[in-house]
Amino acid sequence: MTYALLFRLLLLTALAAPSQGKHLGPTSRLRYSRFLDPSNVIFLRWDFDLEAEIITFELQVQTTGWVGLGVTNRYTRVGSDLVVGGVLPDGNVYFSDQHLVDEDTLEEDGSQDAELQGLTEDAIYTTMRFSRPFRSCDPHDQDITSDTIKVLATYGLDDTLKLDRDRTFIKSIFLLQIVHPDDLDVPEDTIIHDLEITDFLIPEDDTTYACTFLPLPIVSKKHHIFKFEPKLLEHNETMVHHILVYACGNASVLPTGISDCYGADPAFSLCSQVIVGWAVGGTSYQFPDDVGVSIGTPLDPQWIRLEIHYSNFHNLPGVYDSSGIRLYYTAQLRKYDMGVLQLGFFTFPIHFIPPGAESFLSYGLCKTEKFEEMNGAPVPDIQVYGYLLHTHLAGRALQAVQYRNGAQLRTICKDDSYDFNLQETRDLPYRAEIKLGDELLVECHYQTLDRDSLTFGGPSTINEMCLIFLFYYPRNNISSCMGYPDIIYVAHELGEEVSDPMEGMMAINNVEWTPENIKKAEKACKEAQQMVIIKTIDELVENTTGWIPEIIPTARGPCLESSGGKVEPQDKTPAGFRAAPVALSGSSTASLRHLPLVALLFGQGALSWLLATLQVGV
């Protein structure tokens, strides 16, 4: 057998090999969709192939001019990645991968990394469909990641490529949503139960935490809650910051009525195990098909605390609200009972963030070694499948990192582009396993350049929080595990003489917040001993201590080479970038699982020669 024939056979094997990815052609249905502007002129559909790391967009705009779609960042449009296209009056199409060199000027990329799948125009719409890699080797292209993505959409009234700020829109979207609701089962015997506050007069205060205690559905046998969604009055949507449902221990003595959750009566802060939660920007959430919240057995909670955080910044009088959470439950049982573990920085009274900080990091440590003792029964390995991130307005990024036997194991979840206005429950692409003895660290990144006084941890939107809720199975009795630094040590490092934590917090107010002192405070908070507070559903509390471990940044994955592509210096290694997917006659992407075998047996040069010989585009 000649080498050429052997090459051909190996290549055919590679191309014929089935792929586990979701290959998307020009007629494939795109599962996700959203309007990108308030007037519903710009409509986006998208879908992605996690294995091939390719995302496909379809932008439909009410215009007969040009359209553009790309990715930008939080602070400036300069450097934004923008793919533009349109149909000329003579029917010819134009399409280009570009970027913004300033706020208004477009320039074509040297590397064209977007692949056109369709571009049409009729009397009403211009529709552009294209695919692009999650990460190209072009430094002008923004990465598509599991973070919140700021999607930039723009258009013109004719075919003159000129940005108009009135027709340019930016929307935060979590593009890589792993599970689509259509992929999940909806039981035929579904029952709906609403947990809500009825006709509540919202106080004329900036911040109100309203709490009441409500019974869960009364059922004669075990059922599972499998979905929840917010119930919001349309005219009050902007005033409702978050809604949480806490499970109460069956031994708890609960008050009646509605009151301030964290006010004069401490009984209204009872029950601390979150079972479902919604925050600004979130929508409904359905659990995976194998998990649910158990109700109806002697071990299950019978009552919950409903907490609604209102932000009435305009101090509007006479506003009544009936918001809450709608639960969907079924007698068709799932395999696992789920729980929620709250991690992060213990909010009050130790948490502080200096003013004028370009960047300030806060940490909250959790040590799981006492979980079994506090649970009162063996604790199986915790399987995490989803998460909800939460800070207030100064938050810029969060992550939860897992350690085992003193070594960093994985980043469970993160968002380096956190948006306060898009807080939603997200699924992990895998199940992250936590074993007893593991340590969990939450890191929150803040920016306070617009503030001239200290920001303290607290319930108000203008205060701060640093929380991550992990959705997991099988359920145990641990509700939260949170940490905070030794504030006496921090105060001493900042040159303040104090003898107790309260004095320490008061002394923080005396510090002049120069850039040097901001960094000194951040360093002291990280180096201080962490006090770890663990709490159960029955309000049992146990304290322990620990130290903040170092976080090793996760390396970026390889970029995808394109025709005429540029390779970044950090990618110039044998495994630093990967070849573009081999195109078949159609729009599908061929599997490359066996192509490395060719390179392994005969060298990378042989592979390149082989592909060129067979006229397969790379």
pLDDT single digits (tens) 149-174? 999 999 999 999 999 999 999 999 99
Mean pLDDT rounded to a whole number for the chain:
86
Name the pairing type of β-strands 541-546 and 559-560.
unpaired
Residues 325 and 201 in one domain: yes
Gap between the Cα atoms of 441 and 131, Å rounded: 36
Contact between 202 and 260 (Cβ < 8 Å): no
Domain identity same for 193 and 296? yes
Q: What is the pLDDT of residue 321?
A: 93
Same domain, yes or no: 332 and 390: no
Backbone φ and ψ for 480, nearest 5 degrees, come out as: -155, 155
Same-domain pairing of 309 and 420: no
* Structural domain contains residue 237: yes
Looking at the fold, whether 303 and 352 belong to one and the same domain comes out as no
Q: Report how far residue 70's alpha carbon sits from residue 151's, in angstroms, rounded to the nearest whole number.
A: 6
> Rounded to the nearest 5 degrees, what angle is found at the Cα of 224, between the Cα atoms of 218 and 227?
105
Residues 6+ apart with CB under 8 A from 2: none
Domain boundary among 173, 196, 216: 173
Residues 343 and 406 in one domain: yes
* Eight-class DSSP state of 141: S
Contact 335, 185 (CB under 8 A): no
Is a pLDDT exceeding 90 seen at residue 272?
A: no
In Å, what is the CA distance from 602 to each residue of 156, 381, 596, 598, 613? 51, 45, 10, 6, 15
Are 405 and 484 a contacting pair, CB within 8 Å?
Answer: no
pLDDT at 84 over 60: yes
pLDDT of residue 556: 79
For the segment 1-59, what is each residue's pLDDT rounded down to a tens digit? 444 444 444 433 433 333 334 566 677 889 999 999 999 999 999 999 999 999 999 99
* Domain endpoint, select from 337, 365, 394: 337
What's the CATH number where 108 sits? 2.60.40.1210
Tell me: do 320 and 420 sit in the same domain.
no
- For residues 588 and 598, is the Cβ–Cβ distance under 8 A? no
DSSP-assigned letter for residue 181: G
Instruction: List C-alpha distances in Å: 396 to 8, 15, 266, 365, 427.
Output: 51, 43, 32, 19, 20
d(CA 104, CA 101): 8
**Which pLDDT does position 282 carry in this prediction?**
85
Quick one: pLDDT at residue 253? 86
One domain for residues 169 and 198: no
3 state DSSP class of 220: coil
Is pLDDT at 548 greater than 70 in this prediction?
yes
Number of domains in the chain: 3
**CATH number of the domain that 453 lies in?**
2.60.120.230
Quick check: pTM over 0.75?
yes
Predicted local distance difference test score (pLDDT) of residue 593: 32
Range of the domain at 321: 185-337
Q: Are 105 and 96 contacting, i.e. CB atoms less than 8 angstroms apart?
A: no
Catalytic residues, by residue number, are: 209, 390
- Domain identity same for 220 and 289: yes
Domain-located, residue 212: yes
3-state class of 371 per DSSP? helix
DSSP 3-state of 27: coil
Residues 461 and 535 placed together within one structural domain of the fold: yes
Residue 224: give its domain's CATH number: 2.60.120.310
As a residue count, the chain comes to: 618
Same domain, 115 and 197: no
Domain boundary among the residues 491, 525, 552 is at: 552
3-state secondary structure of 82: strand
User: Which residues, including other chains, have CB under 8 Å from residue 237's CB and lie 6 or more apart?
Assistant: none
Whether 244 and 167 map to the same domain: the answer is: no
Taking CB atoms within 8 Å and a gap of at least 24, the contacts of 114-118 are: 114/83, 116/85, 117/25, 117/26, 117/56, 117/587, 118/26, 118/58
